[in-house]
Structure 1
Amino acid sequence: MKIITVEEHYESAKITQAINQSVGKAAAPNLSPDMLHYMRTSLPTPEIMQDFTDQRLTFMAHYGIDQQVLSYGNSSPQNLAPALAIPLCRQANDELAQVVAANPTRFGALAALPVGDPAAAAAELKRAITELHFNGVLLKGNYQGKFFDNAFFFPIFKMASDLDVPIYFHPSFIPNDITQHYFASAGWSDVVTGIFSSAGYGWHMDVGIQVMRMIISGIFDKLPNLKLISGYWGELVPQFLERLDDELDAYAGLKHSFSDYYRQNVYVTPSGILSQPQLNFILAEMGPEHLIYSIDYPYKQPANTRTFLDNTALTSAQLEAFSHGNAERVFHLK
């Protein structure tokens, strides 16, 4: 069985050093000392994030992964001020292109874009696809409190639609006031608050809302070819498709039902949450043509990376689509 995973991360020592020199390590979100300590001790080391041979290829070989689609990790230059983001995103994409060129059958690539300047971001996306032969783009969180449905960002999505490449929406830290309102309590530690508000739940809620806002904004009526990828089994949204139809369709002024856009324009991946009940539910809601496999390496390295696929109740055609066929089609992988 051929396996392609599409939400697999890397970082560049040169880019991280440039970011730290330009804006300082304090550019991270407002996190408590305990949460910063948790992140330093629990997240993958820089060596693992920057590795493209030893540990990464060993992991891939162990679980039978034929190809990873690589995208930038937590220290992405995406949200820096444009004067910094434009050259650093270009440099990051050039470095990743060299990695893919060295292992063209093992890796694909998603571009990092300087979203604070949408015209420059659209131009960099075009360069990444047409010159560097990338397979799409990953957008992380939001930019200065603006969700990506804001008309300010439209040139990015127009370019992705024109080039027929997908945009992967990835979670990131949420504003501190929202963290304090929903996730903090005197009854638990700052580390629990930090995890609860980020990887535990909060940033999945946030990026799920991002996808819903894209639909409600009407962008898919303007760009019907636009494709979004949503990880972590759709970031909580598929469970509410019928409810969203019932409550929004009469008022949103869209040509189709909310769920029609979601099932047509959104593709869902597990991001390493390898749960059979969730797979069965998403299959029923989305259909087999909109499921794509992903692991979230190296943040996640599930022991059932391969056996999850071996033990599904999918038909052979559904399994082929999930494990590699849909990725090849949507990301134009060779």
Structure 2
Amino acid sequence: MLLAAPFHAELAEGPEGACAFWIKAEDNLRLRIAQYPGPVEATGTVLLFPGRTEYVEKYGRVAAEFARHGFHTLTIDWRGQGLADRMLDDPRTGHVHLFADYQKDVAALVKAAEALDLPRPFFLLGHSMGGCIGLRALMNGAPVAAAGFTGPMWGIRFTGPVRQAAWALSWSGARMGLGHAYAPSTGPGSYVAQAAFAGNLLTTDRGGWDYMRRQVEAIPELQLGGPSLRWLHEALAECLALSRLPSPDLPCLTFMGSNERIVDVPRIRARMARWPRGRLELVQGGEHEVLMEDAVTRGRIVAQLAQVFTAAAAGAEDMRRA
């Protein structure tokens, strides 16, 4: 059953008629999804997997671009962020018990897309942590015809010694009952709410930065701080496990900023080099959030993704008729 949920259309700047719903994962955690409508005669529906700290309003502008190209968009507040249920006494901690739990959220999202009777085929677009969740979903057989990623978290960027320390600290912290504690050098503060635009790790576009900051300042409940030690350990383990598996055999287009400083660039290059029908595009001068760069860059990325998705939709239709 889909129940109406709060949605801040004026902050999202998405296509007209967007709305949000509460849904439940199989373990009874409450999640929030947002439906951004496309045209009546749509090519399909993009299942948009946000990154850590993100929420459904953040992708209103992206959904508006997809609508212009003929797609509906359905996106989600993952467990522990946005307006979804948070699992610790400190709601600012980015936390998950098991990384596999995010697949329960994926299942609930797909079920909601079917309940809303959104047009098929479905396509997957994952950003950062959503790229990690999305890759696992593809390997689990998610019902999508093609995929796209931006700055996917297929590894977290560390220097060698720091990576070893992160593994050791996150593992020992979880074992000692401190899995709820913030990872080193992080705390409850929201990066977008507190950092200065100059030198930030997310975008070079002042308009994109102000768009994100407006949202978290207007709705403080959307803010999220650093990850917990448990989240860090689970994320490292999941990225390592995924790196040992072959790439799915379906069309994929991945974008990465040339100045990416958050996720592991070699892991992205290695994954896309062995993706049978995949391609990696570098966004020159781009930071981690290439979809939060200027409108021209965002429009170009969405247009390229839409081209891949449209071709995959045509291929799916040909197979259905055969």
TM, length-normalised to structure 1: 0.38
Give the strand-richer structure, 1 or 2. Answer: 2
TM, length-normalised to structure 2: 0.39
Give the helix-richer structure, 1 or 2. Answer: 1
